[in-house]
A and B are shown apart, each in its own frame.
Chain A
Amino acid sequence: MSCLIVQSDKTLLLEVDHELAEACRRAIAPFAELERAPEHIHTYRVTPLGLWNARAAGHDAEQVVDALVEYSRYPVPHALLVDIAETMDRYGRLTLSKHPAHGLVLTTTDRPVLEEILRSKRVQPLVGARLDPDTVVVHPSERGQIKQTLLKLGWPAEDLAGYVDGEAHPIDLAEDGWSLRAYQRQAVEGFWHGGSGVVVLPCGAGKTLVGAGAMAKAKATTLILVTNTVSARQWKNELVKRTSLTEDEIGEYSGTKKEIRPVTIATYQVLTTRRKGVYPHLELFDSRDWGLIVYDEVHLLPAPVFKFTADLQARRRLGLTATLVREDGKEADVFSLIGPKRFDAPWKEIEAQGYIAPADCVEVRVNLTESERLAYATAEAEEKYRFCATTATKRRVTEALVRKFAGQQILVIGQYIDQLDELGAHLDAPVIKGETSNKERERLFDAFRNGEINVLVVSKVANFSIDLPEATVAIQVSGTFGSRQEEAQRLGRVLRPKADGHQAHFYSVVARDTIDQDFAAHRQRFLAEQGYAYRILDADELLGS
């Protein structure tokens, strides 16, 4: 009896407690995307993108089929194997490469495929003259476009056209008293070997260091794109601390500052600012001869940035993310424009290595009072969530939790400013929200880090990339309609390694029998699928104790 079960919907079920499970996981990880990792059986999904990722990483169909046949407990339906082989075979039939005379060319090993794609209306404007039956010129500016288009047509092109080196700039890791963790080093190697691509690591697993490692490899001017200013500052601090770069070599390009230095950190927001229908800050991409572009939180990459990225295909691109899942389903664009997945490690595995803290996830169900129930029942559809998410009982539960964990570093996270203000007032804790100035934010974060403040109430501005290393308890009182990646981010808040080995706690306070509960169920499912078992408590239990 082996450990893998192949389902007809192309999911793979892996029994994790099986003795062969680890070997099997290693065999299937290159081509199957881990979809769910609850306690006993992990679900992997075989998708065309996953198979092409595997091809890009140098695996062939035979290996994939062998892995399935070897580990499968039951006979694998032949049709599925054929399908896998056929899908994988589609990758690499078309190759983008450099041509000494014509610049960029698209060549094929299979002439009918070239004929097929050249007949497509979407491809025609992107290509030039046909050099010979197997080769066609591609306009160098359309390198990204054509990759995107070909992927949509189901014939992903292998990009072997290489990269420009960019302007050289000495960057080294300053490994004094610390060093890259093994998986970080693997991630850097994987990326560098592949040229461009995405590294998937859980929150708190040190993605910034993977970025730094990649920069040290490239030793060239680098453009780093991050989600917001706070995150930009943290990148800067981390780079100064961990690399040979000095503060003067790192520029910030944001709403407030417009510095362009050998290493420039820009926010998505400033790049996507539009004035009179144009993006005035696009010149940033051309302002220097960048040798490397780092995209932080690739899963949040706004659509316009994809468009710019399409024009940057000659530069090395590194995407960093905790999850390839995009709520907008643009995974294919990430694949074609930034690159295939070069490395990933499941949360649990890194947690087991002691790099991120194990978390205790609890959902607390509160009952609405009778008057709230009536108000909820009569509320307009778009108001319903606000009504149930901000019930007064939640405040009492939050207070009880804060009392319970008194002395530990506690984050209270919510969506509605009124609710947060009220909570802040009751808990006597400062509130960070959209209108809080960056300076004030940093002051409060510093105070929280130093332990001067124990409880911090934050709105969704805290969702991304702020580093709060000592938060051990996160209490979520309201969220954005069950967004999965938000849950990942919030969990990330408490998953950083703890100095004293405290267990992290993640509480979600949810109103019973309302859409709040439905949203919570959605988010919790994501948690459970990530392997974080959670418990459900009744508010009365908590308030009573």
Chain B
Amino acid sequence: MGIGELDREAHVPEGRPSGTAGSPRTLAEALRARGDDGLAALLRARPDLLGPVPNDVTQLATRAGTRASVVRALERLDRFSLQVAETLAVAPDPAPYPVLLGLLGGGDPEAPEAARSPEVAEALPRAVALLREQALVWGEDDRLRLVRTARELLSPSPQHPSPTGLGPTVAEATAGMSPGRLQEIVAAAGLPSTHDPVSAVAALTALFTDRERMAALLDTAPPEALSVLDRLVWGPPYGEVTAKPTPPVGWLRDRGLLLPVSPRTMVLPREVALHLRGGRAHRTPEPHAPRLEVAREYRPEAVDGAAAGQAYAALATVEELLKSWDHGGPAVLRAGGLSVRDLKRTATALDVPEPVAAFWLELAYGAGLLASDGEADERYAPTPAYDDWLDRPPAERWARLVTAWLTATRTPGLVGGQDAKGRTLSALGPDLDRAAAPEVRHRVLGLLATLPPGAAADPETLLGRLRWERPTRGASSAPRAGGPPAPAAGPADGTDPGAAGPWASETRTAAAPRPAAPRPPAELRERLARWALGDAELLGVTGRGALSTHARALLNLPLAKAAEPSAEGGGVEPEVAAERAAELLEPLLPRAVDHVLLQADLTAVAPGPLLRPLADALAVLADVESKGGATVYRFTPGSVRRALDTGRSASDLHAFLAAHARTPVPQPLAYLIDDVARKHGHLRIGAASAYVRCDDDALLGEIMADRRSAVLRLRRLAPTVLAAQTDPASLLEGLRSMGYAPAAESAGGDVLITRTDTHRTPPRTAPAPVPDGPPAPDATLLTAAVRAIRAGDRAATAVRKEPAVPVTAGGLPRTSAAETLATVQAAAMTGSAVWIGYVNAEGAASQRVIAPVRVEGGFVTGYDHTADEVRTYPLHRITGVAELADDDA
């Protein structure tokens, strides 16, 4: 039916020119009647309709009516618009505007004054306009129609209860009911009997929708029955009943106030529920977005200061992280990402909790400062972009990090959780992308920007606002008062209205032209929002919970005024915005200093961030002890040695300290440097392949002076020792060729006597023989074997002597292999049965009577009379075969 209906919506009826005045008869007609702006608005709001560009309006309308597209559009509605759509789905089709307004509690003239909400009346036109713009609703105000697909999606069914909590109409609920039963209900409700079911339903509907008569009917209800209705009225409308319903349920059932959907389930018809609700489809229509509450207001300067402090800390952290990986970071897991242990290690190194460490890692990764090196033995390492980044001024570095963060879809908050298959999600690993992240992030910051500068938002109201803007279908139903309904009297909670399930599964099964992105569950959006708040604080985008001035500039948002989500179109290029933000941030960051303070406890304190060359040099000369606004360095013998190892001399170090210290160099520090320098390089280590030693230094001098010794690459280590870079043999050869008579020396210093013409391996054990067969048998074994063979032979001969004699009971028949084969082949041909002796794989012997069918490949297959089935036996396991004595066996 879906296609036919769609067609009716999409196609222009023949013979009726389009664009004529009057009410449009189809969605296509309605769309065609729109101006170009209207169509553009539709396409902007639902960009999926553009792929590919529809051929004409009819096609556009058809596509706008597809399930996938409608689901997407519904998902992007704010709560009130969705409520309006939901209301239309339970309203008569088409519904005039006043009816819609009444259902939303906004001004049904008959409704009691208290139930009327001027806010709804005020907000409704906007919502209807929005739905119309998005082609979810069409038709003039007197005939508002919800697109059929949307109606199907939103109207209540037992599987997918509506957020309105309303059940089916009387007509729908009585569809399968017997006319007799219907007449009984009509009679019990106090109505005259009718001719046919249709008029009975109409009568019943009329009764339920007539305010006065209905009130009168309910007045006669027993109080327990009313309390049953009370439980069902705001949904879910379904309730379980026992086979023998309680009297109040029975009373309601008899009058059609509860209608059966299955033997065990009753439903409250929509008309009854609406009567009980005073005509309202939603318990609490939420025409306006909840206000964003200010949690606390700070001076904007304090906020900017705190944010700048955090921004600076963020830079320092990223730098520290990557610096520690300067010489190769941890290995990349085979599946991608960082191992849990490496994450833990990183967290310890940065002195932050693991989730925060994951955030910094992902931030650096997202900003392109960190990547896998792609080697065979894959490791993480800083990228060349990191070096470039390091050279930028701090404010610019910050801007680059934050720009990367704003658009990143990777969500470090997921790290440590598990994916659908139960695998742990690792930092820098796969499956961390969440498409909704940037949008949620922008919206969170955008909402913060609506507050005056310096005001920190209450996170709960912020999340509430986000929930209103993007509700999920299940969650948008009005909160039920008084806890979950008690199932005692029958009504039970059908489906959990909080579950976001139905749409996701429907979307997947729907035959969509383009697979719709799986909708992030509300829970994910909320987590994303929370993460965005936390990340923003860590990055110094916000300070003490309030948006900082530099972040406003970066977000391209008006500095103080309220902003709408469409602020992206603010006209300023992102690069320009980043530049502006950096400019604003720059004066707030600590200034680089060019000096340190040296103290007698062998520490140096840099009272601010150091100029980079100075910081690098000092980091070699001393160990960093504490970081923050300032840096505390400690000089240790080890650190001084490290500096000396890089080629600095003690006097270089003294000069360096004197040049950069604001204070005199303390005596213990100077002493420490000299003391370490005194010992530094005292012992010298080098590599040599061979040495020459001789007690006569004159002889060594002679060798050194000889030009022919150049190839031996000799170096004089001491008056009596030369070191050579050639191996001992060549050295011996070389010196001999020069006319000397050197002798080789062992490691212990003894002279090695070598014979020239022999080349020997080091001591080796002879290879143990690996014989092919089993080891040669010894005498005992042989004797035993011979005896056994003889015995077997004797037995065989004994059998052969009387081959025709059937084997006596208990003994196995024994024949030679050739004989066995011939006998079973003969039996297979004649189809006769034979008696075989058989030894199974475990060595157990048995006798069987078989009728061979086939003999091939060393196996005989036959009907086994003993086991009463067809079996296959390997021939080599058959000890012997005997023909049966008589054929009548």
Contact = CB atoms under 8 A, between A and B. Distances in A.
Chains A and B are bound partners: yes
B601 A528 contact: yes
A528 B602 CA distance: 8
A9 B600 contact: no
Interface residues of B, number: 37
Contact of B630 (A7, A77, A528): A7
A40 B666 CA distance: 11
A36 interface: yes
Nearest to A530: B601
Interface string B651-677: 000000000000100111001000000
A258 interface: no
A74 B599 contact: no
Interface stretch (A189-197, A202-210, A214-222, A533-541): A533-541
Given A41-B599, A76-B306, A77-B309, 5 more contacts: A36-B603, A78-B310, A513-B679, A528-B599, A533-B666
Interface of B: 302, 305-310, 312-313, 351, 537, 543-544, 588, 590, 597-603, 605, 607-608, 626-630, 632, 663, 666-668, 671, 679
Contact of B628 (A7, A36, A528, A535): A7
Interface in A488-545: 513, 524-525, 528-529, 533-536
A340 B667 CA distance: 38
B676 to A, nearest CB: 11
Contacts of B602: 525, 528
Of the candidates A5, A15, A73, A524, the one having the most CB atoms from chain B within 10 angstroms of its own CB is A5
B601 A9 contact: no
B308 A75 contact: yes
Contact of B603 (A38, A77, A363): A38
Given A74-B590, A535-B668, A536-B667, A8 B607 contact: no
A540 to B, nearest CB: 13
B644 to A, nearest CB: 16
B668 A74 contact: no
Contacts of A7: 626-630, 632
Contacts of B351: 8-9
Interface in A41-65: 41, 43
A471 interface: no
Would you list the 8 A-B pairs with minimal beta carbon distance, nearest first?
A: A75-B309, A7-B628, A528-B601, A74-B629, A38-B599, A5-B630, A533-B600, A75-B305
A534 B600 contact: yes
Contacts of B630: 5, 7, 13
Interface string A120-146: 000000000000000000000000000
A72 B607 CA distance: 12
Interface string A3-26: 001111101010100000000000
A7 to B, nearest CB: 3
Contacts of A74: 309, 312, 590, 608, 628-629
A534 B590 CA distance: 33
A86 to B, nearest CB: 14
A360 interface: no
A78 B545 CA distance: 9
Contacts of B588: 75
A39 interface: yes
Contacts of B667: 533, 535-536
Interface in A177-192: none
A497 B603 CA distance: 30
Contacts of A78: 306, 309-310, 537, 543-544
A43 to B, nearest CB: 8
A76 B307 CA distance: 9
Nearest to A532: B600
B571 to A, nearest CB: 32
29 contacts: A5-B607, A5-B608, A5-B630, A6-B628, A7-B630, A8-B351, A9-B626, A9-B627, A11-B626, A11-B632, A13-B630, A13-B632, A38-B600, A39-B600, A39-B666, A40-B605, A41-B605, A73-B607, A75-B306, A77-B310, A77-B313, A78-B537, A78-B544, A79-B310, A524-B668, A528-B602, A528-B668, A535-B668, A536-B668
A206 B351 CA distance: 42
A40 B313 contact: no
A529 B632 CA distance: 14
Nearest to B672: A536
Nearest to A524: B668
B538 to A, nearest CB: 8
Nearest to B313: A77
Nearest to A82: B544
B629 to A, nearest CB: 4
Contacts of A534: 600, 668
Contacts of A535: 667-668
Of the candidates B306, B307, B608, the one having the most CB atoms from chain A within 10 angstroms of its own CB is B306
B296 to A, nearest CB: 12
A524 B302 CA distance: 42
Of the candidates A5, A74, A363, the one having the most CB atoms from chain B within 10 angstroms of its own CB is A74
Contacts of B603: 36, 38
Of the candidates B302, B310, B603, the one having the most CB atoms from chain A within 10 angstroms of its own CB is B603
